[in-house]
């Protein structure tokens, strides 16, 4: 740990993490917050794009002459504003709820606000950072973030098995016919055994990117597990052609470890409803076709 002055008992628990790890987490948190900087008079100095979008969507048009009271109407009261800054100076932070006008109407909303001094009070012109969010917006953003994480494969960034099942269920209601590709990397175990799991994981990321780049319109890729991937092709009649394009793209050389080598893949396909009407039967048929191709290629 590189931090030399963590306040005892407050942030000392962070000491086991590196600066980079902590900064990465902090930057992701800022995705949920409106952020802007003001001087001791309440004038804007800098602001995030999220804050700019927030103000413009509500009828505010911030500029270099903007003031915090343009957003939070309670702070038109200079006594209250100076009281808050004094609280920051004493406690290091002020946290509370402030009202703002939504758009040009007289409808008020409430935001949770935190105010901190950035450069310390020893400066002649202290600078303050404000973080704020509306409770309902924060919940919505957090729910969307968690939903995205729940549906994304952590290693490759492709949609995961959970998302596949949801998409398959939805597309069965929307289309009379569609295709499914089952993709397997031949001899992937050999890559792991020869180069190690770290290189194997890096290769899977590259492989997943190749699949993603090979997709045409109305095609969706998913990581099933390990070195197995699935692709849904909405246009059922395009399934066979899609398999050829993806196979050709995946057969190009990869950088694996310190060497460049080609990779062999096997792809099986099934068509709804002729090859099956449910998830299990469609995958089973595509899996069998993939295995037949693997046997042909090994012979």
The CATH number of the domain holding residue 236 is 3.30.70.270
Beta-bridge partners for 42: none
CA dihedral 60, 61, 67, 70 (to 10 degrees): -20
Q: What is the model's pLDDT at position 33? A: 72
Is residue 140 scored above 70 in pLDDT? Answer: no
Beta-bridge partners for 219: 233
pTM over 0.75: no
Query: Are 46 and 37 a contacting pair, CB within 8 Å?
Result: yes
pLDDT tens-place string over residues 94-105 = 998 888 765 555
Per DSSP, the three-state class of 194 is helix
Is residue 62 scored above 50 in pLDDT? Answer: yes
Asked if residue 9 is part of any domain, the answer here is no
**pLDDT category, 90, cuts 50, 70, 90?**
confident
Active site residues: 227
Q: What is the model's pLDDT at position 188? A: 86
294 membership: H or E segment, kind and range: helix 279-298
pLDDT tens-place string over residues 10-25 = 566 666 667 776 776 6
Query: Are 32 and 143 a contacting pair, CB within 8 Å?
Result: no
Better pLDDT: 134 or 184: 184
Q: Of 207, 167, 165, 168, nearest to 188 (Cα)? A: 207
Per DSSP, the three-state class of 209 is helix
142, 165, 189 - which closes a domain: 142
CA–CA separation, 203 and 259 (whole Å): 12
Asked if residue 245 is part of any domain, the answer here is yes
125, 142, 159 - which closes a domain: 142
* Mode of pairing for the β-strands spanning 93-101 and 44-47: unpaired
Q: Are residues 282 and 166 in the same domain?
A: yes
Q: Are residues 67 and 180 in the same domain?
A: no
Asked if residue 223 is part of any domain, the answer here is yes
Structure tokens at 11: 């942030």
Q: How many domains does the chain have?
A: 2
CATH of the domain at 133: 3.30.450.20
Is residue 141 scored above 60 in pLDDT? Answer: no
Is residue 288 scored above 70 in pLDDT? Answer: yes
Q: Of 263, 250, 264, nearest to 295 (Cα)? A: 264
Q: Of 69, 67, 74, 78, nearest to 44 (Cα)? A: 67
Q: Are residues 269 and 163 in the same domain?
A: yes
Mean per-residue pLDDT for 148-161?
A: 87
Mean per-residue pLDDT for 132-158?
A: 69
Question: Domain span at residue 63?
Answer: 33-142
């Amino acid at each position: 740990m590189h931090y030399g002055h963590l306040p005892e008992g407050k942030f000392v628990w962070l000491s086991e993490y590196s600066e980079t790890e902590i900064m990465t987490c902090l930057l992701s948190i800022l995705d949920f917050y409106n952020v802007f900087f003001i001087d001791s008079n309440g004038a804007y100095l800098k602001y995030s794009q999220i804050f700019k979008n927030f103000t413009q969507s509500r009828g505010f048009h911030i500029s270099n002459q903007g003031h915090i009271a343009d957003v939070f109407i309670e702070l038109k009261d200079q006594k209250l504003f100076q009281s808050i800054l004094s609280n920051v100076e004493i406690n290091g932070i002020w946290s509370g709820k402030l009202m703002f006008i939504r758009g040009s109407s007289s409808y008020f909303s409430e935001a949770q606000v935190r105010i901190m001094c950035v450069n310390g009070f020893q400066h002649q012109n202290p600078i303050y950072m404000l973080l704020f969010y509306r409770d309902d917006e924060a919940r919505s953003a957090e729910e969307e973030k968690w939903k995205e994480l729940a549906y994304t494969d952590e290693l490759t960034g492709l949609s995961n098995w959970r998302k596949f099942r949801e998409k398959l269920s939805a597309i069965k209601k929307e289309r009379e016919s569609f295709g499914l590709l089952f993709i397997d990397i031949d001899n992937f175990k050999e890559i792991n055994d020869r180069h190690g799991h770290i290189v194997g994981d890096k290769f899977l990321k590259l492989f997943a990117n190749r699949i993603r780049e090979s997709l045409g319109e109305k095609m969706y890729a998913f990581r099933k597990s390990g070195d197995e991937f699935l692709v849904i092709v909405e246009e059922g009649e395009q399934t066979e052609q899609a398999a050829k394009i993806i196979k050709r793209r995946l057969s190009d050389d990869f950088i694996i470890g310190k060497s460049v080598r080609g990779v062999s893949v096997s792809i099986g396909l099934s068509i709804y409803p002729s090859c099956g009407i449910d998830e299990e039967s469609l995958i089973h048929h595509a899996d069998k076709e993939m295995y037949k191709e693997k046997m042909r290629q090994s012979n």
